[in-house]
Amino acid sequence: MNYFCTWSVQNYLYGCGKADFQPEEAEGATGAAHARANMNLENLLGEEGWARRFYPAARGQLYFLLDDGWDVPQSADARWFGALVPDAGRFPGGPEAPWERLSWLNQQVKEAGWRGLGLWVAAQEAPALFSAAAGDLQAQERYWAERMCWSERAGVEYWKVDWGAHGQDWEFRARLTRWARQYAPHLTIEHAVCQGPVNDGPDGRLREEIAGQEAHLLLEADVLRTYDILQPLSASQTMERVGALLHAMEGRAPKGRALINCEDECYLAAALGLCAGVMRHPLRGLRCKGDMDPAFPPTADDAKLRMDEVARLARWQSVMPPFGAAEEPVRIDRRVLRDSWRFARGETWMSDLIGQELTQAAPARISRGADLPTVRCEGEPPFAAASCHGDCAAIALLPRTQRRRFAPLADVEWHLPRAVSALAVFGCYRSLRITGLGPCRAWASDLLGGPSVALPCSQGTLALSGEQIRAIGLASATPGDASAPGVHITIEKGDTL
């Protein structure tokens, strides 16, 4: 259920190569308008199009998701949001019928090697096409059933339902999910509680009512996205949102798959069994005045230098796919860590934050289906996330941000509740000790591929130094990529090596 979303690269393309580019043009509604203007066939599927250039090692397991702008005219006439008809001006040369135009785009995306086409969807009926009275649920069902049938017929399997007239109407969102199961059984609907990019509860935490609303949605939904964040504080903001939602889901019995999408925090997704909505892209150095990109500022946590993380996530989730929010018991650390960043112009699309220092807080550790790992560190510790599900387990250490991004090295111990056949280790460590494996033999490799290295396993315990994790987990790294290590450990029961 992972995808690459085009929104950030749509925004970045504006101003590339222009000496008079002003960073404030990429902020707020103005930046969104520029982003919509870059949604077109040439940018997507031309010879140098994003679908043909991005993520060659991961695209087979990612949907290529067209974000905001694909179904509205170049003028971005608001009456067309929610039309779900690929705009003929943006996508010339396609068939006339809506479902055939979707199929035409989907086929090209698949031919480029992606899992398929995904669609951003406004949570509303397009006023240009829908005139029924408010509350006419039969007319509303006909409207959405038609569009779901278009997607089913075209082979489109993923909708990202975002803001719109019904964006905060939980019953509308539940109806969409039910209608999709009836009219388009191969279509997955992603929902969200639309919110700003700041956790604005007490002490920089997520407001409790938001987690409650998300949990209410997730009782019916197949996927819920934790929504927009600010990249310099991505780890802390996303840890907080994921932890709050998992806590709110404890003891509940969802009707659907109840998967959580944690946006672009890839190693957190890998470690906790979550989905990812990837927004980072490899385009760099094309804007004047410092190449500022509000989504991925090079002065902060430049995720565009860490593209290998996406491929490692995709490889690991072919072994341990994402699992539902209520499928494993959750443990959340009572210790809270606080990260902070002072935003300069060009480091955020949220104008009100420029010149302000923002502090965001999150639990230090989260685990699913296993005990919390023990983390020992001099000074500030990293965030830690871990899960054990089925025959697999994964653990990650995530970086901190306090005026800069840094990865504290820690000694980590983690006890598994049972033996597993596959382990993944993400991030930078001083040392890692995993117990509970039973008699076994183990081999490790970079999740990107390459040769395997035999690991000693004594009395059901694996012990790795930070240097070993780095050497193995970066063995097949792309030259120049700054991703943290990602190790795949295969385990066979039996005599130790």
429 close to 493: Cβ distance less than 8 angstroms: no
Would the pLDDT of 497 be above 60? no
Predicted confidence (pLDDT) per residue in 237-262, tens digit: 999 999 999 999 999 999 999 999 99
Q: Are residues 222 and 346 in the same domain?
A: no
Which residue segment(s) compose the domain that 196 sits in? 3-328
Instruction: Report pTM.
Output: 0.97
Q: For residue 496, what pLDDT band results from cuts at 50, 70 and 90?
A: low
Q: Are residues 307 and 343 in the same domain?
A: no
Report the distance separating Cα 34 and Cα 432, nearest Å.
Answer: 46
Q: Are residues 111 and 125 in the same domain?
A: yes
Report the distance separating Cα 94 and Cα 325, nearest Å.
Answer: 40
Of 236, 222, 226, the closest CA to residue 262 belongs to 226
Average pLDDT over residues 433-448: 98
DSSP bridge partners of 361: 338
CA angle 155, 159, 160 (to 5 degrees): 155
Name the domain count of the chain.
2
Report the distance separating Cα 395 and Cα 485, nearest Å.
Answer: 12
Predicted confidence (pLDDT) per residue in 150-180, tens digit: 999 999 999 999 999 999 999 999 999 999 9
374 close to 413: Cβ distance less than 8 angstroms: yes
Report the distance separating Cα 240 and Cα 361, nearest Å.
Answer: 7
Q: Which tokens hold the place of 211?
A: 């987690």
Average pLDDT over residues 86-97: 97
Q: Are residues 301 and 404 in the same domain?
A: no
Q: How many CB atoms lie within 10 A of CB 212?
A: 14
Pairing of strands 461-465, 431-435: antiparallel
Q: Are residues 97 and 50 in the same domain?
A: yes
Q: Are residues 315 and 277 in the same domain?
A: yes
Report the distance separating Cα 268 and Cα 312, nearest Å.
Answer: 12
486 close to 311: Cβ distance less than 8 angstroms: no
Predicted confidence (pLDDT) per residue in 199-212, tens digit: 999 999 999 999 99
Report the distance separating Cα 256 and Cα 277, nearest Å.
Answer: 19
User: 48: domain CATH number?
Assistant: 3.20.20
Report the distance separating Cα 291 and Cα 12, nearest Å.
Answer: 9
Give the pLDDT confidence score for residue 495 in this predicted structure. 72
- The SS3 call for residue 275 is strand
